[in-house]
């Protein structure tokens, strides 16, 4: 099984269609919705998709055929080490434990694979060293 993360954008014309349901049901994929939003301009979903690579490829083709904007994400939150003061605010707020304080060097480490792009670290970072790469 393979796990990949995607940012999906839905236009107002298709937000009421069962596209995500069909992705799970018809393509035998497991989805973990990490972040989502909808308003009068459309919607977006950040999902982690798990399945066979061939099924993921078919699922992505289906999404594109439905006019869903699909962007694969390898990195969605980045840390600017030059701005970071290693205060640890991100360590205490991160629900995914993507940040760790090295107690030897007192430097904050970041594991992007654990990140769920919730944005809490961005909100609490005093020097604005964290950036959401999705938008």
- Average pLDDT of span 106-114: 90
Write out pLDDT tens, residues 67-106. Answer: 999 998 876 788 999 999 999 999 999 998 999 999 999 9
CA torsion 12-17-21-26 (nearest 10°) is: -120
**Common-topology check for domains 2-73 and 77-132:** yes
- Global pTM? 0.69
Three-state SS at 120: helix
Domain 77-132, CATH 3.10.129.10 — does that match? no
Three-state SS at 125: coil
Instruction: Kindly list the domain boundaries of the chain, sorted by start residue.
Output: 2-73, 77-132
Fold observed for domain 2-73 = Alpha-Beta Plaits (3.30.70)
């Amino acid at each position: 099984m393979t796990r990949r993360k995607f940012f999906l954008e839905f236009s107002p014309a298709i937000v009421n269609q069962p596209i995500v349901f069909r992705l799970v049901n018809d393509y035998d994929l497991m989805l973990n919705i990490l972040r989502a939003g909808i308003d009068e301009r459309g919607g977006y979903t950040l999902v982690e998709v798990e399945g066979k690579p061939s099924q993921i490829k078919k699922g992505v083709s289906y999404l594109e055929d439905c006019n869903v904007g699909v962007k694969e994400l390898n990195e969605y939150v980045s840390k600017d080490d030059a701005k970071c003061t290693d205060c640890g605010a991100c360590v205490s707020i991160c629900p995914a434990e993507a940040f760790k304080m090295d107690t030897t060097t007192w430097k904050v480490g970041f594991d992007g694979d654990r990140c769920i792009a919730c944005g809490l670290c961005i909100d609490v970072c005093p020097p604005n060293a964290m950036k959401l790469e999705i938008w």
